[in-house]
Amino acid sequence: MKQNGLDEMPPAGATIQEVAKAAGVSKTTVSHVLSGNRPVSAATRRRVEKVMAELDFQPNFFAQALTSKRSNSIALIVQDITNPYYPALARGLQLSVARRGQAVMLFDAGGGEQFADTFVNEAIQRRVDGVVIAASGMASGLARLQKAGIPVVAVGSGLSGLSVDWVSADDERIAGDAVRHLHASGRSRLATIAGPRGAAPGDSRLSGFLDAAASLGIEVLPQHVAVADFTRDGGYEAMERLMGTDSSPDAVFCANDLMAIGAMEAANAAGLDIPSAIAIVGVDDIDAASLVRPALTTVHIPVEEIGQAAGDLLLHRIDEGGGASYRQVLVNHELVVRASA
Amino acid sequence: MKQNGLDEMPPAGATIQEVAKAAGVSKTTVSHVLSGNRPVSAATRRRVEKVMAELDFQPNFFAQALTSKRSNSIALIVQDITNPYYPALARGLQLSVARRGQAVMLFDAGGGEQFADTFVNEAIQRRVDGVVIAASGMASGLARLQKAGIPVVAVGSGLSGLSVDWVSADDERIAGDAVRHLHASGRSRLATIAGPRGAAPGDSRLSGFLDAAASLGIEVLPQHVAVADFTRDGGYEAMERLMGTDSSPDAVFCANDLMAIGAMEAANAAGLDIPSAIAIVGVDDIDAASLVRPALTTVHIPVEEIGQAAGDLLLHRIDEGGGASYRQVLVNHELVVRASA
């Protein structure tokens, strides 16, 4: 098998033997300085590190990983990297973990076309130092990672029952805030375009919607609960179904902005004025939310902060190991009132 | 130093010794089967692989990497992962390289706040099998990667002079197509909001714009060339400057959609009707382009295809090693006429 060009790589500075000789220590001591696995006196460490710098010693990354059992890589498994939520999450995660020399390995489930579990297997095989998982159907993957002793942080709601570190927006309260805003502005025939059932955050936002409506004495008709797949096209089709019902709604809470934007397009196409004939609220506050006309009223989620919090939890878990109690972080959201509701 | 929980990891199936014993071969032979570095007879390989499966042998990823000199990781260095161009690029790259067991390590330069060169160093240190780089100021990084013998593919224009594999949109022709469309629809006072100078694709799209205007006999006033930073805010401010000039333009070619959307907002805020008072064209065809009102006329770039082409070139380079000629791929674009021009 032909190698990947590394065979022709110029020799990278000194060897570990040369470092050991120049520093007057054994090869094993140099290894310990590199791996940090065994205590080395501060004076010896300083001397070895000085020699490494002088001789332009480049440690072999794989050998180091083999010794230290660390890959200095974090796997990030996301549902759909082309959904603007996930790039912001990736940026926040990198901001957190890069401080500690960790790089982010990205696994994009392609909008669910690939099973997140395949990536979990790959993360285990690659012996990453930790995993952040933000994809649907992640429960079995979480269990497997924990069994393999790999630190993991989950991003997303519906996880409060699990023994795992997680970060989430407060999805039930997000839906509740949207419902209260619609109610306060005089809407009474509420509908929702929910995310896929049986998975977060679709379920949590739907139950938050139904609970808030009930507590305000608003009856939600069964045909006013439409389910879609968090995409713009899905939102468009769900809105067409809602408008085709006998008693059409005067407000729609959409479980994300992409579906809300699709719903706005369907309403426009049907000649319904937004917001006078129908009010529409989204969730996320993606860039496009302020670009559409009328500008979309939505719930802002600080996604980059979620990524940073996930990174911080993961680094903590990597340092402290397994066991102990689990940390669960809910980030704050904010209703952003624009023109659509 | 505390380990990351791997110390408590349950023993992962059989050891390499146990595999060797059960298969009746030496440990070295098992290593050769794993690494593929030395020839092993087909019969022996099959026997060893059968035993590995029976004993649930999990090769040590780091040891394998040390032997094979392969990390099975590709570094992707991007300018700004929150710009929708780059997630699409990442998806295309993963689609290409995952077929060959390669994972994508994402390095986000945070919109240029971090130097791509830092990530180049990290990629070299981590001994990735290859690098795809799509960030400004990448020339020095490319040279360093090539010197280190690491296969690299550049994404972006302005690279035709370099001895490197690259993939790009045809940026001069993109600008030319936009100019010809504006001219054909009766516009004569053309302006442009260019990307940052001294870097691709800002320079190539600007020279394409100027060349096409010149060849159509259109004079472009110096004050009608504004420079911004590919962001929506930058486009907004650049448009304010263009509208403040003595002879205001009747059409603006913006070097990407985000700047075009910012420019549309500035025109709206100034009470200028789009397209009757001023036509606006973008480049990229991001999701938001069809969401804004009026919908943005733009040049569609098949970004996922660019990512796939970059992955294919990189795999080829990894297989074939250095030397030989360089492959340079220009992908096709398409003018998408909507309502803004």
Partner-chain residue, chosen from A103, A147, A321, that has the shortest CB–CB distance to B107: A103
Q: Would residue B88 count as lying in a domain?
A: yes
Q: What is the CATH number of the domain that holds A243?
A: 3.40.50.2300
CATH of the domain at A63: 1.10.260.40
DSSP H or E stretch at residue A42 = helix A42-54
Which residues sit opposite A292 in a β-bridge? B292
Q: What are phi and psi of B106, to 5 degrees?
A: -95, 125
Question: Does the residue A11 lie in any domain?
Answer: yes
Select the residue from A32, A113, A257, A291 to test the B interface by mutation, using most B Cβ atoms within 10 A.
Answer: A291
Do B198 and B105 share a domain, yes or no? no
Minimum distance, in Å, between the CA of residue B244 and any CA atom of chain A:
24
**Residues B246 and B178 grouped into a single domain:** yes
Q: Which of A298, A292, A284, A300 is nearest to A267 (CA)?
A: A292
Do both B90 and B165 map to the same domain? yes
When CB atoms are compared, the residue of A94, A149, A291 closest to B292 is: A291
Which of B32, B51, B68 delimits the end of a domain? Answer: B68
Residue of B nearest to A33 (CA): B1
B28, B52, B68 - which closes a domain: B68
The answer to whether the Cβ–Cβ distance between A69 and B4 falls below 8 Å is yes
The reply to whether ipTM tops 0.95 is no
CB distance B109 to B123 below 8 Å: no
- Does residue B271 lie within any of the structural domains? yes
From B68, B83, B111, the end of a domain falls on B68
> Beta strand B297-300 with B165-169: parallel, antiparallel or unpaired?
unpaired
User: Average pLDDT of chain A?
Assistant: 88
In a domain, A322, yes or no: yes
Average pLDDT over residues B95-104: 93
Q: Say if A339 falls within a structural domain.
A: no
Residues B141 and B287 in one domain: no
Instruction: Answer whether residue B18 is part of any domain.
Output: yes
Residues B178 and B31 in one domain: no
Contacts of A322 in chain B (CB under 8 A): 5, 8
* Chain A hits for B149, Cβ within 8 Å: 5-10
Q: How confident is the model at residue A5 (pLDDT cuts 50, 70, 90)?
A: very low
Contacts of B231 in chain A (CB under 8 A): none
- Assess if residue A258 is contained within a domain: yes
Q: Are B102 and B45 within one domain?
A: no
* Same domain assignment for residues A94 and A152: yes
pLDDT at B9 (0 to 100): 38
Is residue B177 domain-shared with residue B257, that is, in the same domain? yes
Residue B6 to residue A149, Cβ atoms within 8 A: yes
Residue of B2, B33, B74, B106 to mutate when probing chain A, most A C-beta within 10 A: B106
The residues facing A75 across adjacent strands are A105, A131
Residue of A nearest to B65 (CA): A62
Domain tally, chain B: 3
Please give, rounded to a whole number of angstroms, the shortest distance from the CA of A118 to a CA of chain B.
11
- The predicted model scores a pTM of 0.79
Q: Say whether both B77 and B59 belong to one domain.
A: no
The answer to whether the CB atoms of B73 and A261 lie below 8 A apart is no
Residue of B nearest to A101 (CA): B122
Over residues A197-216, mean pLDDT? 91
Rounded to an integer, the average pLDDT of B113-131 is 85
Domain limits for position A269:
171-300
d(CA A211, CA A225): 13
| Top-confidence range, A44-58, A211-225, B4-18, B29-43 | A211-225
Least Cα distance to A78 among A103, A41, A50, A112 occurs for A112
Q: CB contacts < 8 Å between A and B, how many?
A: 184
Half-sphere exposure of B313 (CA within 13 A, CB side): 26
Give the chain B residue whose CA is nearest to the CA of A148.
Answer: B9
* List of chain B residues whose C-beta atoms are within 8 Å of the C-beta of residue A317: 5
B75-92 per-position pLDDT tens digit? 999 989 998 899 999 999
Q: What is the mean pLDDT of residues B307-321?
A: 93
Q: Taking CB atoms and an 8 Å cutoff, what residues of chain A touch B151?
A: 4-5
Residues of chain A contacting B74 with CB distance shorter than 8 Å: none
B89 falls within a domain: yes
| B226, B124: one domain | no
Query: Is the model more confident about B121 or about B252?
Result: B252
Q: Record the tokens describing residue B255, joined without a space.
A: 């070097």
pLDDT tens figures, B135-155: 877 778 888 898 888 999 999
- Shared domain for B213 and B274, answered yes or no, is yes
Tell me the C-alpha distance between B171 and B174, whole Å: 5
> Residue B222 burial by CB count (10 A; 0-12/13-18/19+): exposed, middle or buried?
exposed
What's the rounded Cα separation, in Å, for the pair B160 and B141?
A: 16
Residues of B in contact with A130 (CB under 8 A): 4
- What would the two tokens of residue A12 be? 């990278």
For residues A311 and A276, state if they share a domain: no
Interval B264-280 mean pLDDT: 95
Chain B: residue whose CA lies nearest to A131: B4
